[in-house]
A and B are shown apart, each in its own frame.
Chain A
Amino acid sequence: MKSLIATLALTTALTLPGLAMARPVTLSTTMNNYGGNGAYLALYVTDASGAYVGSLWMAGGKSKYYKHLTDWAAATGGNTAEINGITGASVGSGRTLDISLDLADALFDAGYTLHIDAAVEDYRDSPNEIAVPLTSDGFGKSVQGRRYISSFTYR
């Protein structure tokens, strides 16, 4: 019986830290009714010094338009390897994009910032439309965009 308890304690101790390393998050982006075609959005993270860390999602499938996501393109050189496997359709006017993912726990309360660049056909590019610090306190708080994004929330 003692060995069983010891084994359970060991496996629990080994498992719990692993589960705590990721945090399930939903990134919700609601577009304004700007009236144009679907918007291209680049969601990416920078560290406390402002250096690009990595991309979380690319909304919009045609790489030739990625240069209009100017800050993302400048940070990555437009390298689409950065968004392999995390690319989806562009987001229409007035629509909401919900992205569910497990974010590394180390990203929160450590100076990291989530950015969204936006671009719409025939409209002005909007780099850094959203810039929101990743903090525990920021969960569920809505942030307003500058041009095309009505609101952004991570929860």
Chain B
Amino acid sequence: MTSRTILFLSATALGATLVLPAFAANAPIGHGLTSCDGVCAAVLEPLDAVPLVRVSDDHDEEDDDDDHGRRHDDDDDDCEGDGHGWRLFSRGDDDEDDCETPRGQNAPNSMNSGTPPANGLFGNGAAPKAVTN
């Protein structure tokens, strides 16, 4: 293999490495979550159709009410069906999601998991960084 061939191949590999992520991130802007098709759809769509069922609830809502010192709290289960007001919460647990959402499509992966949704808004696919001053 000549040095020219080696040079050409290495340059091509370099170019592909730099460009492919950018093209991948340039998906059509819109609701990227529905862009699953082909093999992806065959695998994932049956999972979406299966409802998540809570099989056990052995805790007492009253016993687990840890809203100590909150100003008022007359609604122990406000994760669903309460169309009024906030459930009061203290500043200390702002980041703790105590709503009983099942793990799955209605539960966030984590806080700042590093993988933003594929909605076409994030140019390079990198997660945003947030700082509060």
Q: Which residues of A contact B (CB under 8 A)?
A: 3-4, 7-8, 10-11, 14-15, 17-19, 21-23, 37-38, 45, 47, 52-57, 59-65, 68, 78-92, 95-107, 119, 121-122
Contact A84 B122 (CB under 8 A): no
15 contacts between A and B (CB under 8 A): A7-B11, A22-B25, A52-B31, A53-B30, A53-B120, A53-B121, A56-B128, A61-B94, A64-B99, A84-B109, A85-B108, A87-B111, A89-B94, A99-B130, A104-B121
Partner of B113, one of A18, A47, A85: A85
**In whole angstroms, how far apart are the Cα atoms of A84 and B113 in the complex?**
7
A18-B19, A121-B88, A122-B86 in contact; A53/B108 too (CB < 8 A)? no
Most buried by A among B16, B85, B109, B121: B121
Interface membership of B22, Cβ < 8 A: yes
- The answer, among B87, B101, B117, for a CB contact under 8 Å with A54, is B117
A91 to B133, CA, bound (A): 9
Assess A54 versus B119: contact at CB under 8 Å? Given A21-B25, A84-B113, A122-B86: yes
For chain B, the count of residues having a C-beta within 8 Å of the partner chain is 62
Residues of B within 8 A of A (CB): 4, 7-8, 11-12, 14-16, 18-19, 21-23, 25-26, 29-33, 78-79, 85-89, 91, 94-99, 101, 105-117, 119-124, 126-133
Smallest CB gap from A57: residue in B: B128
Contact of B117 among A59, A82, A122 (CB under 8 A): A82
Q: How far is the CA of A47 from the CA of B88 in the complex (A)?
A: 35
- Knowing A83-B108, A84-B109, the reply to whether A38 touches B97 (Cβ < 8 A) is no
Contact of A15 among B19, B97, B110 (CB under 8 A): B19
Q: Is the CB of B117 within 8 A of A86?
A: yes
* A64/B121 in contact, CB under 8 A: no
Which B residues lie within 8 Å of A59 (CB)?
130
Identify the closest chain A residue to B121 (Cβ): A54
Contact B124 A102 (CB under 8 A): yes
Q: Which of A3, A23, A53 sits near B31, CB closer than 8 Å?
A: A53
The 3 residue pairs across chains A and B that have the minimum distance between CB atoms: A22-B123, A18-B22, A54-B119
Known contacts A11-B11, A18-B23, A103-B121, A85 near B96 by CB under 8 Å: no
Are A85 and B130 in contact, with the CB atoms below 8 A? no
Cα–Cα, bound, A83→B132 (Å): 18
Give chain A nearest CB distance to B86 CB in angstroms: 4
